[in-house]
Amino acid sequence: MKPVAIFRHSPIEGPGYFAIFLEQHGIPWRLIAIDAGEAVPDSPETFSGLCFMGGPMSVNDDLPWIEESCALIRLAVAKDIPVIGHCLGGQLMSKAMGGQITRNPVKEIGWGEVFGESDATARNWLGDFAGRSSTVFHWHGETFSIPPGASRLFANPYCANQMFALGPHLGMQCHVEMTPEMITAWSAHWADEMAGITEQASIQSPEQMMGDTATHLTPMRALATQLYTVWIKGLAR
């Protein structure tokens, strides 16, 4: 089986549970470290699927690999090679598919509720999580529009578009891939970003994040498993 390509854009924003899930299902994967200067491949055809992780930059930044990534996503979509994106990765997907990336009304940092849609597409992707609330991890200041032809899967009052699906492709604004180690590392690395704004309802302090992890990680892991299980069905075996 061809490997899944996992694109990393920041050294501390690795694949987390997504890689664990692939390994549990015997699916090979290859890390492409954009943050270390690795090039974006010209073609998606050497991979069974593409996964784009998060990052602190904006999809609207003038970085050469952003348009290269969008071009690769468009090629994958044209060839029905499944693409999945987490946060920045979901924004790359939206942009590549004709959506817009704009500043979100507020930053979302930490654990927060999202509300599942209940249409047929949502029921296919979300299973028992369709039509009800779930708690997921967030860390973003921008947001994507739902690209033409895609369906929204999750929303909340702070960010209208938390997740979308288009055929075998899944774009997420939230971070269902998180591990406790990643939450600790992000809280330390980006502590300055939270300074003075933790009084906002959409932002948690590091202490609140870590305190809530024991409660929310296991249910979010179940949601991630549901999403990833549907996504891998599209991989070429």
User: pLDDT tens digits, residue range 110-152?
Assistant: 999 999 999 999 999 999 999 999 999 999 999 999 999 999 9
Q: Does 195 have pLDDT greater than 70? A: no
Q: How far is CA 12 from the centre of its chain?
A: 15
153: nearest Cα among 177, 179, 134: 134
> Is the pLDDT reported for residue 199 higher than 70?
no
User: In the chain, what are the domains?
Assistant: 4-232 (3.40.50.880)
Mean pLDDT, the chain, as a whole number? Answer: 95
Tell me the two tokens of residue 149.
């032809």
Query: Which pTM value belongs to this model?
Result: 0.96
CA angle 186, 157, 163 (to 5 degrees): 65
Candidates 171, 208, 182; CA nearest to 17 is: 182
Q: Mean pLDDT check: name the lowest of 162-166, 185-189, 195-199.
A: 195-199
Q: What is the pLDDT of residues 150-166, one digit of tens each?
A: 999 999 999 999 999 99
CB atoms within 10 A of CB 186: 23
* CB half-sphere exposure, 182, CA atoms < 13 A: 22
* Long-range CB contacts for residues 205-214, cutoff 8 Å, separation at least 24: 205/110, 208/110, 208/111, 209/110, 209/111, 209/183, 210/180, 210/183, 210/184, 212/110, 212/111, 213/111, 213/180, 213/183
pLDDT in tens, 35-70: 999 999 999 999 999 999 999 999 999 999 999 999
Q: Report yes or no: 15 and 55 within 8 Å, Cβ to Cβ.
A: no
Specify which residues 29 forms β-bridges with: 4
> 127: burial class by Cβ within 10 Å (0-12, 13-18, 19+)?
middle
